[in-house]
Chains A and B, each alone.
Chain A
Amino acid sequence: MERAQKYRQRFFVIQQLTAREIKRKYARSYLGIVWSVLNPLLSMTVLSLIFSQLFRRSIENYPIYYLTGYLLWQMFTGATMAGMTALADNKSLLMKVRIPMDLFILTRAYTSLINLGYSFIAYGIMLAVFRIALNWSALLTPVILILLFSFTVGISYLLATGYVFFGDIRHLYGVALTLWMYCSAIFYPVEQLQGTIRTVIQLNPMYVYIHCFRKAIMEGLPPTGSEWLQMVIWGAGIYLAGYLFFKKSRNRIMQKI
């Protein structure tokens, strides 16, 4: 009972901090949170103008193909980029409040998830526009999302802890993300690549999440057994690794900050 209350309180703190992040982010814009809906649509339009001709034969409904990958990728990069600096940004608060430090990291991840929620409005509209018929496989997408989220949180823990000790990680991660994005087959079909690079892409956890999500929505097919296995192992493994690394370094973080 006490425990449940404790977790409820933590979630309340995360909600409040998230509300702050979102209000701050859109403090100077008229449309505010509507941008979370508009942004993916605009991005989709731009990419479709250029690439849908190029990939016409290999991808049906290119805009949806791209949008699915883009939304998940944005959730991931948004959460990890912001999560990385979460501890450093809230330095003064950390020294004053008796709430667990990792709530700040979780807040950044949760903010990204809420953003994704708004972006799904745009996604839903587009699915209707392109007359994508959903079947029961679509019901699996929340599970895929949860696994992706757990993977994301794990990476955020690792980055946030690392960032406290070596500020350069930020720049390195920026470069790594570019490479990672090109290896996630967000705007091109993976079938066009052969050899080692294709293997790399198919082993890339982000590709697996995006691929399974797409398949469930666009083709109405559930992930295969090995795909489930990959998603679970990456999601749980990275989460645990991140959490333990953070926990072990907690005291040193406090001293460093």
Chain B
Amino acid sequence: MEMQRTNEHAEIAVRHVTMQFRRAHEESSSLKELFINAFRKGQKYETFTALDDVSFTVFKGEVAGIIGTNGSGKSTILKIIAGVLVPTKGKVEADQDKIQLLTLGTGFDPELTGRENVYLNGAMIGYSKKYLDETYEEIVRFAELEGFMDEKVRNYSSGMVSRLGFAIATAQDTPEILILDEVLSVGDLFFRKKSEARIQEMIHGGSTVLIVSHSPSVIRSNCTKAIWIEKGKLEAVGDPQEVCDRYEKMQKGGAG
């Protein structure tokens, strides 16, 4: 465990967060079943624990990487921090207004053109119309999609889609807390370099950054701290090299 620092610079404090999803035992949810269940009294639920008593702190200026195998609860903790989900138990202390959550291509609609998607996607991320009007050219330039913007996204290659997604997501002025959900390692090698540089720029802009990735190399090269969550439990927090080594060892030894 890390040294306990004073609370004053804790930008994100996750305290004993437990997240349980309740699922009705019978899959289909119909009115008929509701009646049957009402008579049977006491509905049967299957609880699935996505996060089990997870606590960690991210300090101002830190670049923290959350790592873990698929389905281990990485995205869930991210959504809780970003305020999309409310935890079953425990709480997260963070200033919601400062947080910017970046996910790639959120709500891209294949039937719309690139231009329309920039506005749709940008609106959902939280950009105003004015801001989008101003930065539109820059987004297109960064994504290297000049001349394709009136084309439907359906006709884009997957590389083009992720380039556009990345360009929109990072078009903003650096927010105070930046959360990146599998945003790195996008596109071809050249664009990957460019996008990493952009992220580095944002990191050096003084943001506190939270990166989620299943790739240890992304965490190693970008983070100052690693948080490993496995099967909903906090496995380790600490130096990225150390934590990633352990993570890789587990992966080789385990079923993965």
Task: Report which A residues bind B (CB closer than 8 A).
Answer: 5, 8-9, 12-13, 15-17, 19-20, 23-24, 27, 93, 95-99, 165-169, 172, 251, 254-256
Q: Report the minimal beta-carbon distance from B190 to chain A, rounded to whole angstroms.
A: 27
Q: Name which residue of chain B comes closest to A5, CB basis.
A: B128
**Which residue of the partner chain, among A23, A95, A97, A98, contacts B116 with CB atoms under 8 Å?**
A23
How many chain B residues touch A (CB < 8 A): the figure is 32
A47 to chain B, nearest CB (A): 33
- Cα–Cα distance between A98 and B97 once the two chains are bound (Å): 11
B248 at the interface (CB under 8 A from A): no
Q: Which of B90-139 contact A (CB under 8 A)?
A: 99, 101, 103, 106-107, 109, 111-112, 116, 119-120, 123-126, 128-129
Instruction: Give the complex CA separation of A195 and B14 in angstroms.
Output: 65
Q: Which residue of A lies closest to B105 (CB)?
A: A96
Given contacts A9-B128, A23-B111, whether A97 and B21 have CB atoms under 8 Å apart is no
Residues of B within 8 A of A (CB): 21-22, 28-32, 34, 79, 82-86, 99, 101, 103, 106-107, 109, 111-112, 116, 119-120, 123-126, 128-129, 181
Q: Are A16 and B123 in contact (CB under 8 A)?
A: yes
**A93 x B123 contact (CB < 8 A):** no
Nearest-CB residue, chain A, relative to B107 = A93
Interface residues of B, dominant DSSP: mixed
Complex contact A9–B84 (CB within 8 A): no
One of A13, A96, A166 near B103 (C-beta < 8 A):
A96
Q: Is the CB of B29 within 8 A of A165?
A: yes
A19 to B21, CA, bound (A): 34
Q: Is the CB of B107 within 8 A of A254?
A: no
The reply to whether A98 and B82 form a contact with Cβ atoms under 8 Å apart is yes
| With A16-B120, A16-B123, A255-B21: A24-B30 Cβ-Cβ less than 8 Å | no
**How far does the Cβ of B234 sit from chain A's closest Cβ, in whole Å?**
22
